[in-house]
Amino acid sequence: MSNPGVWRKEPGARLQGSRALDSSKLQAPCIVRAPAGGYRLFYTAVGPDKPFAACQGYILSAVSDDGLAFRTEPGIRLAPQPDVPFRSLRVIGPSIVACGNGRWRMYFESRGLAARPTVICSAVSSDQLSWEFEDGIRLESPGGVGGPRCLLLPDGRCRLYCFRSEFGPGGLTSGQRVSARIVSAISSDGLQFEFEPGYRMRDRQAVYDTAGISAAEVIAPSAASDDWTMFYSAWQKPPPGAKVPLHPSMDVNAVANGNSDDFAAASIASDMSGYRSRIFVASSSDGLSWQPVGCAIEGRGYGTDGLDAVHAEDMSLIRTDSGQYRMYYAACDKDGNWRIASALLEPRSGSAGS
């Protein structure tokens, strides 16, 4: 995919809150082929049926024959463990790869209390439904890491792209976040990762990227002459003096204390506090040094119509049966409702969508 092309948004939502497990908030999709055929969409959610009061998110799934109409599956795929400090409150943002022997490995972001940085952990499954946590932490950093996206490399290794946060004086507990950049780590076994030097994508490079970037999905070249392509989320702060209609929910400070009975409402209040997110494209000749190309998906802004009017982020891509790429992404409208939307890459003239 040396040329990212034009993305056509598909009508309606692929998934929206429909049950007590996901009626409060859902985002961070991950699309894979289901073993029995069709597609399985994993996603982050929270709702009244969360497993314990302080829970801030877990991973659910839905299946589809055509990649457009999805049926939710019962139960929770992965949930936080209150007795494990680094994943006691939140298990979100799945990324899934085949790991051999008919098994899959899921990488995900997890966290405990606010004083602990977010980390990346993993779980394995033989059927994509029952998942078993793997011991330990796959990747960590003093300011926190998250938004994992795993890419299997031709030499058998895997590269994990993620965002890494850095904080100023006061650190994680009382400092201000000064950067959230895309970095990468490499592994030969999928368990032990080493950060690669430097960063893959620097934040705050343009007016639309003033509050950090996250969730970088990378498409490796299909031919030696092609470039690597990265899709990533960038956040923009509200302009000075902007008056934004706030969501009628709890104070955003409830997000920080880690034990709000209505975490989703507090989280949505933060989502609707003037920030916007969009999905952008970058290009690379080696998968390590990247240059921004442009915007792939964006809404029209606060007060306008559209599933993604305010936020478009956390994308996951897959090739359809026709060979085109379909992007699933988290979308938030003017009223603070989160859904999973999709867009299809328009084929270039004389091409099937390469």
- Please state the pTM of the whole predicted model: 0.91
Q: Which long-range contacts (CB under 8 A, 24 or more apart) does 270-274 make?
A: 271/247, 271/310, 271/311, 271/332, 271/336, 271/338, 272/244, 272/245, 272/246, 272/247, 272/310, 272/332, 272/336, 273/238, 273/244, 273/246, 274/237, 274/238, 274/242, 274/244, 274/302
Residue 210: the pLDDT is 64
CA dihedral of residues 41, 58, 26, 49 (deg, nearest 10)? 120
Cα 161–chain centre separation? 11
Residue 239: the pLDDT is 66
* Residue 155 DSSP code: T
> How do the pLDDT tens digits run along the chain, 354 residues long?
545 578 999 999 999 999 999 999 999 999 999 999 999 999 999 999 999 999 999 999 999 999 999 999 999 999 999 999 999 999 999 999 999 889 999 999 999 998 899 999 999 999 999 999 999 999 999 999 999 999 999 899 999 999 998 887 766 766 667 667 899 999 999 999 999 999 998 877 766 666 678 878 999 887 766 899 999 998 887 766 665 555 444 444 544 544 445 678 778 877 887 788 999 999 999 999 999 898 999 999 888 999 999 999 999 999 998 889 999 999 999 999 999 999 999 876 544 333
Residue 100: the pLDDT is 83
Q: How many CB atoms neighbour CB 246 within 10 A?
A: 14
Q: How many CB atoms neighbour CB 171 within 10 A?
A: 13
Q: Extract the tokens encoding 69.
A: 């109409």
3-state secondary structure of 85: helix
Residue 208: the pLDDT is 65
Sheet arrangement for strand 177-187: 145-152, 158-167, 177-187, 194-195
The single-letter code of the amino acid at 84 is V
What is the b/e burial string over 192-215, where b = at least 16 CB atoms within 10 angstroms of the residue's CB?
A: ebebbeebbbebbeeeebbbbbbb
- List, in order of start, the domains of the chain with CATH numbers: 7-345 (2.115.10.20)
Q: How many CB atoms neighbour CB 98 within 10 A?
A: 12
